[in-house]
């Protein structure tokens, strides 16, 4: 790989040990993928996990003196102060989250602690070269904005933030952004929830190819597109999708396939969506809680829930996970007050795959997100999966039927 003088100096240690470690990893990555050179990145996002490997790696870099040239936004761990008010957090878990916060602050990250930075704090322009990890973020960056990122790991994105570079390969190149498989949607996709099921149903039939959707509505909400990407990367590994007439690199079918023919055509029927829904949901019955915000809810979604519970009483506890920026707006708009009056709450800076939810282990909840249900299996949480309106109705009765 051809390196500039400055990049070679980073590799040789002239910018310190931490930068050297990051550049060494990136050169190795570039060589694997036959990258001819490095290119500058102007935005980064690190999917911190607040788990052992994540903490080990960021502390190793901090101790080696690394500082981010391009300050990354970061994923949520959990909101320690909030959960200490409603449950008991073990000393060990408290230590871990405190160390995670400190290490990312020291390395120069922007502590957004949210998984949807692409909606409000870290928004790229068309064609911009970035390094985004986080499975809902990568497809949104590539597909919805037409900016460019590979499906970075949390660690490779952190290296890019430190060096301000990324090797040139994969989805940064025009030819690799071409659609490969035509997905003909014959199902009735009418609300944000249907995009969750669509995203979950497609990867099984796709096999590491870039999908081009046709026959979808031309005015999807931001939440619908967020849901589609998140589920495509829960059930599979899909860094980019096209929707003809919606996403910027798919103005027409020819545009999406860059003039080539699709390698294959697959059809998704209503039966496919119903079948995947039946497969991933836990059995109906009494529930103990409702949980939303995987990925983090945006303000419109918070408003929708607030409207549904306005003046009513919830039978079970309800949480919406969101960013601190959205929570602030929701407070200002009166949504938080409405939710709290009904018995719900908003919690910021928090992911569902964190030990702070231990008080819900072994219990059953309702959610609109297949991704939420998938990752919490390891934590022994059960979920009935329904669209938001039905989740609220269930939370008011304490039961899903």
Partner 1 sequence: MSETYACHKVSEGVIEGDVLISTDDFCFYLVDPKTGVVIEKNHCLEGQSIADKILVFPSGKGSSVVQADGMYQLKMTGKGPKALIIKYPDTVLVASSIIMEMPVVDRVPKSFYEQVKNGDKLRVDADQGTLTILS
Identify which of residues 153 and 258 has a Cβ nearer to partner 1 in the complex.
Answer: 153
Identify which of residues 91 and 378 has a Cβ nearer to partner 1 in the complex.
Answer: 378
- Applying the rule CB under 8 A, the residues between 152 and 171 that interact with partner 1 are 152-157, 159, 170
- Applying the rule CB under 8 A, the residues between 207 and 226 that interact with partner 1 are 208
With a CB cutoff of 8 Å and minimum separation 6, the contacts of 55 are 96, 99, 100, 103
56 contacts partner 1 (rule: CB under 8 A): yes
Residue in 307, 300, 296, 304 with CA at minimum distance from that of residue 338: 307
Q: Is the bond into 81 cis (omega within 30 degrees of 0)?
A: no
Q: Find where tokens 């998938």 sit.
A: 374
Rounded to a whole number of angstroms, the minimum distance from the CB of residue 170 to partner 1 is 7
Selected binder of partner 1 within 14, 28, 254, 337 (CB under 8 A): 28
102 contacts partner 1 (rule: CB under 8 A): no
126 contacts partner 1 (rule: CB under 8 A): no
Binding part of the chain for partner 1, among 150-158, 179-187, 242-250, 357-365 by CB under 8 A, reads 150-158
- Cα Rg for the chain, rounded, in angstroms? 21
Selected binder of partner 1 within 52, 81, 175, 261 (CB under 8 A): 52
Identify which of residues 159 and 316 has a Cβ nearer to partner 1 in the complex.
Answer: 159
Identify which of residues 203 and 344 has a Cβ nearer to partner 1 in the complex.
Answer: 203
173 contacts partner 1 (rule: CB under 8 A): no
Q: Find where tokens 């959990």 sit.
A: 78
Rounded to a whole number of angstroms, the minimum distance from the CB of residue 151 to partner 1 is 5
Q: Is 26 exposed, middle or buried (0-12, 13-18, 19+ CB in 10 A)?
A: buried
Tell me the site size for partner 1, rule CB under 8 A. Answer: 35
Binding part of the chain for partner 1, among 65-73, 220-228, 231-239, 311-319 by CB under 8 A, reads 231-239
Selected binder of partner 1 within 4, 32, 258, 340 (CB under 8 A): 32
Give the integer Cα–Cα distance in Å for 360 and 378: 13
Relative orientation angle of helices 52-63 and 91-107, to the nearest 10 degrees: 40
Give the integer Cα–Cα distance in Å for 249 and 179: 9
How many DSSP H helices and E strands does the chain contain? Answer: 17, 16
Q: Give backbone dihedrals phi and psi of 368, rounded to 5 degrees, phi first.
A: -95, 0
Selected binder of partner 1 within 14, 33, 174, 312 (CB under 8 A): 33
234 contacts partner 1 (rule: CB under 8 A): yes
Rounded to a whole number of angstroms, the minimum distance from the CB of residue 28 to partner 1 is 5
Identify which of residues 133 and 180 has a Cβ nearer to partner 1 in the complex.
Answer: 133
Give the integer Cα–Cα distance in Å for 7 and 281: 49
Binding part of the chain for partner 1, among 21-29, 64-72, 83-91, 261-269 by CB under 8 A, reads 21-29
237 contacts partner 1 (rule: CB under 8 A): yes
Contact 107, 61 (CB under 8 A): yes
263 contacts partner 1 (rule: CB under 8 A): no
Selected binder of partner 1 within 9, 13, 16, 51 (CB under 8 A): 51
Contact 238, 232 (CB under 8 A): yes
Give the integer Cα–Cα distance in Å for 185 and 273: 10
Contact 355, 100 (CB under 8 A): no
3-state secondary structure at position 189: coil
Identify which of residues 136 and 304 has a Cβ nearer to partner 1 in the complex.
Answer: 136
Rounded to a whole number of angstroms, the minimum distance from the CB of residue 134 to partner 1 is 6
275 contacts partner 1 (rule: CB under 8 A): no
369 contacts partner 1 (rule: CB under 8 A): no
31 contacts partner 1 (rule: CB under 8 A): yes
With a CB cutoff of 8 Å and minimum separation 6, the contacts of 49 are 75, 77, 154, 353
Give the integer Cα–Cα distance in Å for 251 and 180: 16
Contacts with partner 1, 283-312, as mask; x by CB under 8 A: ------------------------------
Could you give the count of Cα atoms lying within 13 Å of 346 in the half-sphere of its Cβ?
A: 27
CB atoms within 10 A of CB 24: 14
Selected binder of partner 1 within 135, 350, 354, 369 (CB under 8 A): 135
* Binding stretches for partner 1 (CB under 8 A): 25, 28-29, 31-33, 47-49, 51-54, 56-57, 133-135, 138, 150-157, 159, 170, 208, 233-234, 236-237, 375
């Amino acid at each position: 790989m051809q390196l500039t003088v400055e990049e070679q100096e980073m590799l040789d240690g002239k910018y310190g040990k931490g930068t050297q470690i990051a550049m060494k990893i990136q050169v190795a990555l570039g060589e694997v993928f036959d990258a001819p050179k490095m290119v500058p990145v102007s935005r980064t996002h690190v999917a911190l996990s607040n788990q052992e490997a994540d903490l080990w790696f960021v502390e190793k870099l901090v101790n080696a003196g690394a500082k981010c040239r391009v300050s990354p936004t970061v994923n949520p761990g959990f909101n320690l102060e909030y959960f200490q008010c409603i449950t008991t957090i073990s000393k060990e878990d408290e230590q871990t989250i405190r160390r995670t916060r400190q290490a990312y602050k020291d390395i120069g990250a922007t502590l957004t602690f949210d998984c949807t930075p692409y909606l409000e704090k870290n928004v790229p322009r068309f064609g911009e070269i970035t390094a985004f990890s986080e499975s809902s973020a990568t497809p949104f960056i590539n597909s919805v904005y037409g900016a460019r990122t590979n499906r970075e790991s949390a660690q490779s994105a952190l290296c890019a933030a430190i060096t301000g570079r990324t090797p040139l390969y994969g989805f940064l190149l025009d030819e690799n952004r071409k659609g490969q498989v035509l997905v003909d949607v014959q199902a009735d996709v009418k609300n944000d929830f249907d995009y969750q099921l669509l995203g979950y149903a497609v990867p099984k039939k796709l096999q590491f190819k870039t999908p081009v959707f046709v026959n979808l509505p031309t005015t999807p909400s931001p939440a619908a597109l967020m849901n589609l990407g998140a589920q495509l990367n829960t059930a599979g590994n899909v860094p980019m999708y096209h929707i003809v007439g919606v996403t910027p690199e798919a103005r027409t079918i020819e545009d999406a396939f860059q003039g080539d023919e699709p390698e294959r055509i697959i059809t998704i029927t209503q039966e496919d969506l119903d079948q995947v829904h039946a497969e991933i949901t836990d059995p109906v019955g009494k529930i103990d809680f409702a949980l939303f915000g995987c990925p983090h809810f945006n303000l419109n979604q918070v408003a929708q829930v607030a409207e549904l519970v306005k003046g009513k009483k919830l039978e079970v506890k309800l949480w919406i996970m969101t960013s601190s920026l959205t929570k602030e707006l929701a407070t200002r708009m009166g949504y938080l007050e409405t939710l709290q009056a009904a018995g719900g709450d908003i919690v910021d800076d928090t992911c569902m795959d964190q030990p702070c939810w231990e008080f819900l282990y072994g219990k059953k909840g309702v959610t609109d997100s297949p991704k939420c249900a998938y990752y919490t299996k390891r934590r022994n949480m059960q979920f009935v999966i329904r669209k938001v309106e039905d989740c609220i109705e269930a939370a008011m009765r304490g039961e899903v039927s």
